[in-house]
Amino acid sequence: MKQGRAPSGCWVMACGPSGAGKDSLLAWAEAALAREPRIVFARRLVTRATHPGSDHDEVSPAAMRALGESGGLAWHWEAHGHQYGVRAAYADLVAQGRIVVVNGSREHVAGLAGRADVRSVLITAPAEALRQRLLARGREPAQAVAGRLHRNAALPALAADLVLVNDGPLERAAGALRDWLRELAA
């Protein structure tokens, strides 16, 4: 586990199972850190339609492919049948000493272990809370939710720099992320 200040810029890859509250937690932390010039929250590109509260910009698969081929993406990965990407401009911010927070994928983050410029945050919740949250979203039928939960249970544990269990008031887990990011940037 890497601790303490990031002497130069770094990526903070936040990940966790669907329903853990990543979007809400990251949005809370982003608002709380709005006056912290060294900390930036990346806006992802996703080949999925946006909906109210989305934390991404919608792009077509062809546009995502073109960005990847032209060097326009710093990171890209696939999950749940969609492609995800982070624009290369964010890599410039890391090179300038900024901390760039990305809402990522556990599979992608696991492949980055050992990189000096990457920190990882695992956001999770108890299985029953995940199930209830996914069903309440209403985006998928119960069978698809069960599949997501099964996939989550089958994934190997991630050795994260920070683990947040989002099973209480949002402010508790989001506040812990805010404090950790401030320490990293100090």
Give the model's confidence band at 177: pLDDT under 50 very low, under 70 low, under 90 confident, else very high.
very high
Q: Is 54 annotated as a binding residue?
A: no
Q: Is 120 annotated as a binding residue?
A: no
- How big is the chain by its Cα radius of gyration, in Å? 16
- Please give the backbone phi and psi of residue 136, each rounded to the nearest 5 degrees, phi first: -65, -30
pLDDT score of 1: 46
Q: Which residues contact 142 (CB under 8 A, 6 or more apart)?
A: 135
Q: Is 23 annotated as a binding residue?
A: yes
Q: Is 2 annotated as a binding residue?
A: no
Q: Give the residue-averaged pLDDT of 3-26.
A: 84
pLDDT in tens, 44-83: 999 987 776 667 788 999 999 999 999 999 988 888 788 9
Q: Is 17 annotated as a binding residue?
A: yes
Give the model's confidence band at 96: pLDDT under 50 very low, under 70 low, under 90 confident, else very high.
very high
Q: Is 85 annotated as a binding residue?
A: no
Q: What is the pTM of this model?
A: 0.86
Parse the chain into domains and list their residue ranges. 10-185
Please tell me the distance from the alpha carbon of residue 71 to that of residue 107, in angstroms, as a whole number: 22
The continuous run of DSSP H or E covering 151 comes out as: helix 142-154
Average pLDDT in the chain: 89
Is the distance from CB of 47 to CB of 62 less than 8 angstroms? Answer: no
10-185: CATH homologous superfamily?
Answer: P-loop containing nucleotide triphosphate hydrolases (3.40.50.300)
Q: Residue 121: left if φ>0, alpha if ψ -120 to 50, beta else—which one?
A: beta
Q: Is 20 annotated as a binding residue?
A: yes
